[in-house]
Amino acid sequence: MKVAIYSRDAPKTLRGLPTNVANRIRGKVEQYVADPASQANNVKALQGEKGYLRLGVGDWRVIFREDGSVVLIVRVAARVWL
């Protein structure tokens, strides 16, 4: 089973978002951690950054890396900023 670990900046961004948006993002991350195949159509390799993936959640993107059973959430940002 995989475990999600958030970097220092990701929770700060989530706290600044409206509650419903933050909960939706957290829910998608948890879905991915529980079953990566369930979010396969929303996950793509990040161009220009080897080893990083992005998970699309509406107008938001979750940048993360996988290292064995650990999913490290590096950044949560609006789509326009990526």
Where in the chain are the domains? Answer: 3-81
Single-letter amino acid code for the residue at 73: I
Class of 3-81 in CATH: alpha beta
Identify whether the C-beta of residue 5 lies closer than 8 Å to the C-beta of residue 71: yes
- Burial environment of residue 7 by CB neighbours within 10 A (0 to 12, 13 to 18, 19 or more): middle
- Establish how many alpha carbons lie within 13 A of residue 62's alpha carbon, considering only the half-sphere containing its beta carbon: 31
Residues with Cβ within 8 Å of 40's Cβ and at least 6 positions away in sequence, in order, are none
Q: How far apart are the C-alpha atoms of 10 and 76, rounded to whole Å?
A: 5
Tens digit of each residue's pLDDT (9 = 90 or more) over 33-44: 999 999 989 999
Tens digit of each residue's pLDDT (9 = 90 or more) over 17-69: 999 999 999 999 999 999 999 998 999 998 888 999 999 999 999 999 999 89
Give the global pTM.
0.89
